[in-house]
Amino acid sequence: MATEAKKGNSIIETIKTIVYALLIAGIFRTLFFQPFWIPSGSMKQTLLIGDFLFVNKMTYGYSFASCPTIRIPVVGLNIDAKDICGFLGDDNDRIFGGEPARGDVVVFRHPVSGQDYIKRLVGLPGETVQMIGGVLHINGAPVALEDDGVFEETAGPQGPQRLRPRCENGPVGDGGLCLKSRQIETFPEGTSHPVLNIGRQSSDNTPVYNVPAGHFFFMGDNRDNSTDSRVPQMAGGVGFVPYQNLIGRADRIMFSSSGTSMLAFWTWRSDRYFKRIE
């Protein structure tokens, strides 16, 4: 009897340990840092498919979007962040709110689907944004661009989704060299980052977007391969993103995997450990 009681207590203690660990991890993830694995190439060359990073949630303060959304389709589990942190309100405000800066690489909650996206902040509340001939215009003025050679990558399936890159030098077979024109874009505040172009397309010329108060305009650095604020939400895009939907700022890549799983350490890219995101 004593042995059975001891075994029962051991099981209970194990369960309690697991529950406590999950609670601590959940609190840490909600308040401080959220892990994020880059699934697509919309932010190349700044971020590559397979980059693993932590998102700093303290930068912009907290809203319902700071809480995790838990989706496990195979078991039918779908718990939205609003189900957990709806008490924080839906008034487009934040607790301990901080102001985002143009050029920040931000993870945010899609205003319609609730999916997590990562893009660069280019337009602030009250500003106008427009693309003319592939050049970003802010408040009617073109942003400075400087040619910077080409971005090279190996053609072929990438990441767990096996996505194939689009290439400026046409369809390229597996193992071939995929090229994109690269330019350095410099914002009025003086911060710079690379942007990639594949060819002329409709997203290179847009109407004037008037960013509403309390909202932000985001774009991917891989300009011709990014679903972002240039496409309205009703057309399947991102549109304007409310302040409350910001999750946090991406500051540094921890490591990067060129394979189909981040656990495949032999595919990690040695040049991207602890790389600063600019």
Q: Which residues are catalytic?
A: 42, 119
Q: Is-contact 135 187, C-beta < 8 A? A: no
Q: Which residues pair with 217 in a beta bridge?
A: 123
Q: Going by DSSP bridges, is the β-strand pair 70-72/77-79 parallel, antiparallel, or unpaired? A: antiparallel
Q: Which residues pair with 215 in a beta bridge?
A: 242
Q: Which of 234, 246, 27 is nearest to 116 (CA)?
A: 246
Structure tokens at 262: 């981040």
Amino acid at 200: R
Q: Is-contact 204 133, C-beta < 8 A? A: yes
Give the dihedral sign, CA 24/36/276/105. negative
Q: Which of 81, 110, 71, 89 is nearest to 239 (CA)?
A: 110
